[in-house]
Chain A
Amino acid sequence: MRNALFALIPALMATPVAAQSGAGVTEFTLDNGMQILVREDHRAPVVVSQVWYRVGSSYETRGETGLSHLFEHMMFKGTERHAEGEFSEIISREGGRLNAFTGRDFSAYFEIMAADRLPVALELEADRMANLQINAEALSTEREVVLEERRLRTDDRPEGRFAERYAAIAHPGTGYAHPIIGWADDVAAFEVADLRDWYDQWYTPTNATLVVAGDVEPEAVHSMAQEYFGGIEGRDVPAVHDPDNLQPPGERRVIHRDPQARVTQLRMGYEVPSFATAESGRDPYALQMLATILDGGDGARLAEDLVRGSGVAAAAGAGYNPMVRLDAEFSLFGVPADGDVDAVETALREQIRRLQETLVSDETLERARSQMLADHLFEMDSVFYQAMQLGMLETTGAGWQTLNEFEENVRALTAEDLRAAAREYLRPEMLSVGIMQAADQEETG
């Protein structure tokens, strides 16, 4: 019954295109190397357009931190053809929404519009891919804006101050160790030349993926993309050198005593493979299922054992995102119910040990499988998120076809696979522990 149900999903999106995959995605490549992905979804006359560049904070070294993000802000500052602010005004006037985001592995620019307005978005995106103007005055204003953003997100928040310190030890020797927004002294020192160099190096069709999702025809998108982006000359991007980091890094701890924190918090993270770095294709799915067994919902182990059972935690969770370019993190977090953070850490370690020692029951396995397959289907409700997934899979090196293999891999997992993955990857020498100690509580550990 369930097999039949899930087998039917891709067929709902059927359109007779030769290059189409099970996920209803069509792929094209322009002569200049630009990649085009089209995901059809005809439920509403709406289109999401996203241009993804393979550059983000993990491409930066000290002295450059925050450059990708600051540059993303500068992409709104105007070209020869369109003055500052005009890009946003045009999209707004056309009834659209727009924004951009920078991650560790990507910089992405998006518009959401009525489906027939797509050419407007593509023309503007092509213009700023090739003809951006970067001047000192706009830079100095935007630098202030970004420093305000940093104060808002990080400097003035206990959770932000803690997250930055935790990342610094959780990803030693990689570009994931520094914040996406950058260290403040780096951001304050950027000059026009730094931003021009970044633009020249990374902002080329060769390094870009256009993802279009919604009420569109693939061939029509292909010709539009050719019309607007086809004339931009492709350039090779610099070779990306990710240093061979410490393997294994060894167990690490950071204790952050924050004068303003009112609630003690615990984070734990194991460095584990991502889609991009896994040697065995099935490992990321096993890790996802382990996270689901721990924290797939209120019936899962962390809620049952730590929050309700022993009551050591007021909240507890687990997560794993395989859509990253370097190694990923299998993360755990906990909030002690009465300040005893050691008890929460002990309980979380005990949960990991249990996964390594005892095979999960058939009921547990089936429940987690059911949740993963259903969630995967629920994700199709959001046109924007469908586009996001394609962009993330492409820019992190996993490839969008990963989506097509999801169901098969999840179905194939056995209790033995899960135990093997827990033993292989959730080892102490891969672990970081971070504690934010509330100001008014007794120190522990």
Chain B
Amino acid sequence: MKRLIVAAALILFSHTGGAMQADIQEWTTRAGTEVLFVERHELPIVDVRVTFDAGSARDGDTPGLARMTSNLLLEGTPERSAGTIARGFERYGARVSTGSGRDTAQVSVRALSEPARLDPVIDSLADVIAKADFPADAVERVRRQMSLGLQQAQSSASALAEKAFMRGIYGEHPYATPPGGTLESVEALTRAAVVDFHRRHYTARNATIAIVGDLSAERAEAIANALSGALPAGEALAALPPVELPSSAQTIRVPLEAEQTHVMMGQPSVRKGSEAYYPLYLGNHILGGGGLTSILAERMREERGLSYSSASSLTSAARRGRFQMTTQVRNDSLPEALSVMRDSLEEMRVDEPAAQRLSDSKRNITGSFPLQLDSNRDLLGYIATIGFYDLSRDYLEAFVERIDGLDGEAVRAAMHEHIDPARNVTVLVGPEATIDAAE
């Protein structure tokens, strides 16, 4: 098996000329799984993440199925119970966790690098991922846990807002349904569906492995072989359908008795790898993504004292990600807050950002990227993402260069083209009288 070093991502710092080396080594295992590996010997620890194309976008008409599968993954094999499996990891001080979102399901392990403590953990994990057998009592237990979580979310304004917003911007797309499912759908999930989901999605061809830490390339290769070799080969999955943009602006009102109203406003953005992502990212940073110095924080918090937290965010995904502005304000301030948010967004679409704001934001983005790679865990997340989405291997460096090369007109044009108020979905969660009166 030949290993290729595809990218010597020599990361340069804009201010210092100092450099940091993060060589991403990359290869495909015999079983057909893509592997990305970064050697880091400063601490005697190893992080491994296996990412599967097995998020809620694959739920079909059973919301919560991907999440339930992920939650049940460590609950038993034909030979071993959940407790035996967990204690097997704990004996060696290893931390193993599973998680799932819309695009992906992941299994992550952090362990000590000493072979006597790492190898048994990897062998056990490979066995568990491949042979998970979803005991019936565990299915019922996890169903109840998910159901209680959903009940608890019914009194959380932010969770209610998120759910309504995703439904509103994604319409009929698989992204529209909550990864945790709904009370009705979770009740209806069957063990047979979980077993089938696992069989079809937790496969070698549907996985990407990321490894960071105190290992030689040979040992990393052995780990990747153990994990991918245990899995069935599997078949390629169909591509997700495209996201249809909302055809008109709409306001969704969710009644909840509270002193504040939660606001979410936005629409689908662009997919991973889209050229428009860079100017939109910069525009969003200026508008509300840049923390205390962004326009929304200044206008809503510093100048008016309307809210504690006012921000915007921009994500990308396998299909379209999302652009959203969020805030929470005293009920009687809602009309003022809505007009500040809408006016601020409109300004970004009509005028170029002020020169000072533009250059400050650019400097913040380009100067802060080393901060994103200062720990093994951050590096792991980074290479897992570029591996899964097949982004260019010098993604961060290229990102910095792209941002650096943008001018105010590029930002304005991208905001104008991609964030159209005629498509904005506005979600209001608050007391009925307050949200009914709002425009």
A377 touches B45 (CB 8 A): yes
Asked if A148 and B371 make an inter-chain contact with CB atoms under 8 angstroms apart, the answer reads no
**9-residue interface stretch from A202-210, A228-236, A296-304:** A296-304
Kindly state whether residue B282 has any CB partner on chain A within 8 Å. Answer: no
Say which one of B109-117, B231-239, B247-255, B408-416 lies at the interface with A. Answer: B109-117
- Separation in Å of the B328 CB from the closest CB of chain A? 5
Task: Give chain B interface residues in 2-35, CB to chain A under 8 Å.
Answer: 13-16, 18, 20
Selected from A1, A114, A381, the residue in CB contact (under 8 A) with B15 is: A114
> How does the 8 Å CB contact mask read for A86-118 relative to B, with 1 for contact and 0 for none?
001100111111110000000000001111110
Do the beta carbons of A375 and B308 come within 8 Å of each other? no
CB of A354, distance to nearest CB on chain B (Å): 16
A residues near B14, Cβ cutoff 8 Å: 95
Q: A84 — which chain B residues lie within 8 A by C-beta?
A: 302
- Residue numbers in B under 8 Å from A97 (CB-CB): 291, 368, 371
CA distance A340 to B393 in the complex (A): 53
Considering the chains assembled together, what is the distance between the CA atoms of A149 and B327 in angstroms? 11
B302 smallest CB distance to A (angstroms): 6
Residues on A with C-beta less than 8 A from B44 are 5, 8-9, 12, 377
| B144 engages A88 (CB within 8 Å) | no
Question: How far, in angstroms, from A205 to B223 measured CA to CA in the complex?
Answer: 51
On whether the beta carbons of A298 and B83 are closer than 8 Å, the reply is: yes
How far apart sit A155 and B15, CA to CA, in the bound complex (Å)? 45
Neighbouring B residues of A296 by C-beta, 8 Å: 90
Picked from B18, B43, B152, B259, the residue with its CB within 8 Å of the CB of A156 is B259
Fill in one digit per residue for A1-28: 1 if any B CB lies within 8 Å of its CB, else 0.
1100100110010000000000000000
- Against B, the Cβ 8 Å flags (1 = close, 0 = not) of A132-172 are 00000000111111101101100111100000000000000
A76 partner residues in chain B, CB cutoff 8 A: 292
For chain B residues 110-152, which have a beta carbon within 8 Å of chain A? Answer: 110-112, 114, 116-117, 138, 141, 144-145, 148, 151-152
Cβ of B42 within 8 Å of any chain A Cβ, yes or no, is: yes
* A299-B83, A315-B145 as given contacts; A144 in contact with B90, CB under 8 Å: no
Closest to A1 in B: B116
Closest Cβ neighbor of B368 among chain A residues: A95
State whether A308 and B363 are in contact (beta carbons under 8 Å apart), knowing that A1-B116, A148-B307, A261-B155 are contacts in the complex.
no
Question: A145 touches which one: B18, B258, B305 (CB < 8 A)?
Answer: B305
Q: Are A94 and B363 in contact, CB atoms less than 8 angstroms apart?
A: yes
- Determine whether B402 belongs to the interface, using a CB cutoff of 8 Å to chain A: no
Q: Which of chain B's residues have a CB closer than 8 A to the CB of A335?
A: 148
Find out whether the CB atom of B18 lies under 8 angstroms from the CB atom of A298. Answer: no
8 Å CB contact of A96 from B155, B309, B368? B368
**Known A314-B148, A371-B93; contact A149-B308, beta-carbon cutoff 8 A:** yes
Provide the bound-state CA to CA distance between A402 and B292, in Å. Answer: 35
Central interface residue in A9, A88, A298, by most chain B CB within 10 Å: A298
Q: Are B305 and A142 in contact (CB under 8 A)?
A: yes
- The interface-forming segment of B48-56, B312-320, B372-380, B420-428 is B372-380
> In the complex the two chains form, what is the Cα distance from A149 to B300 in whole Å?
13
Task: Name the contact of B293 in the complex, choosing from A42, A85, A371 (C-beta under 8 A).
Answer: A85
CA distance A246 to B307 in the complex (A): 40
Would you call B89 an interface residue if the criterion is a C-beta within 8 Å of the partner chain's C-beta atoms?
Answer: yes
Cα–Cα, bound, A299→B141 (Å): 16
B260-A370 in contact (CB<8A) = no
Q: How far is the CB of A440 from chain B (nearest CB, A)?
A: 10
Tell me, yes or no, whether A399 is within 8 Å of chain B by CB: no
Given A9-B44, A114-B13, A115-B18, A46 contacting B90 (CB threshold 8 A): no
A31 CB within 8 Å of chain B: no
For B92, give the chain A residue with the smallest CB separation. A370
CB contact between A383 and one of B152, B157, B374 (< 8 Å): that residue? B374
Residues of A with C-beta under 8 A to B138:
308
Given the complex of chains A and B, what is the CA–CA distance between A406 and B44 in angstroms? 18
Q: Which A residues are CB-close (under 8 A) to B293?
A: 85, 88-89, 92
Q: Are B374 and A114 in contact (CB under 8 A)?
A: no
A115 partner residues in chain B, CB cutoff 8 A: 16, 18
Do A114 and B86 have beta carbons less than 8 Å apart?
Answer: no
Contacting pair A112 B371 (CB below 8 A): yes
B110, A378: Cβ atoms closer than 8 Å: yes
Cβ of A260 under 8 Å from chain B: yes
For the complex, give the distance between the alpha carbons of A215 and B94 in Å. Answer: 28
B82 to A308, Cβ gap below 8 A?
yes
**Bound complex: CA A304 to CA B141 (Å):** 13
Is A347 close to B, CB under 8 A?
no
CB closest residue in chain A, given B42: A43
Most buried by B among A145, A296, A373, A381: A381
Contact present for B367 and A85 (CB under 8 Å): no
Smallest CB separation, A315 vs chain B (Å): 7
Docked-complex contact A155 and B83, CB < 8 angstroms: no
A239 within 8 A of B: no
A249 at the B interface (CB under 8 A): no
Interface contact A152-B309, CB-CB below 8 Å? yes
Instruction: Judge whether A92 and B259 touch: CB under 8 Å.
Output: no
Q: Which residue of A lies closest to B302 (CB)?
A: A85
Interface residues of B in 57-91 (CB under 8 A from A): 74, 82-91
Interfacial chain A residues near B13, Cβ < 8 Å: 45, 114
* A-B pairs with beta carbons under 8 Å apart, 28 shown: A5-B44, A5-B112, A8-B44, A12-B44, A43-B375, A84-B302, A89-B360, A95-B367, A95-B368, A97-B291, A115-B18, A145-B308, A148-B329, A148-B330, A151-B258, A156-B260, A157-B156, A158-B155, A262-B154, A299-B86, A308-B82, A337-B141, A337-B144, A367-B91, A374-B111, A375-B93, A377-B45, A381-B375
Q: Chain B interface (Cβ within 8 Å of chain A)? A: 13-16, 18, 20, 40, 42-45, 74, 82-95, 110-112, 114, 116-117, 138, 141, 144-145, 148, 151-152, 154-157, 257-260, 290-293, 298, 301-309, 328-330, 359-361, 363-364, 366-371, 373-377
Given contacts A44-B375, A46-B370, A92-B361, 13 further A-B contacts (CB under 8 A): A2-B117, A42-B42, A92-B364, A94-B367, A96-B368, A114-B370, A149-B308, A297-B86, A299-B83, A299-B85, A366-B91, A374-B94, A377-B112
A residues with a Cβ closer than 8 A to B are 1-2, 5, 8-9, 12, 42-46, 76, 84-85, 88-89, 92-99, 112-117, 140-146, 148-149, 151-152, 155-158, 214, 260-263, 296-300, 303-304, 307-308, 311, 314-315, 335, 337-338, 366-367, 370-371, 373-375, 377-378, 380-383
Closest 3 CB pairs between A and B? A95-B367, A374-B93, A299-B86
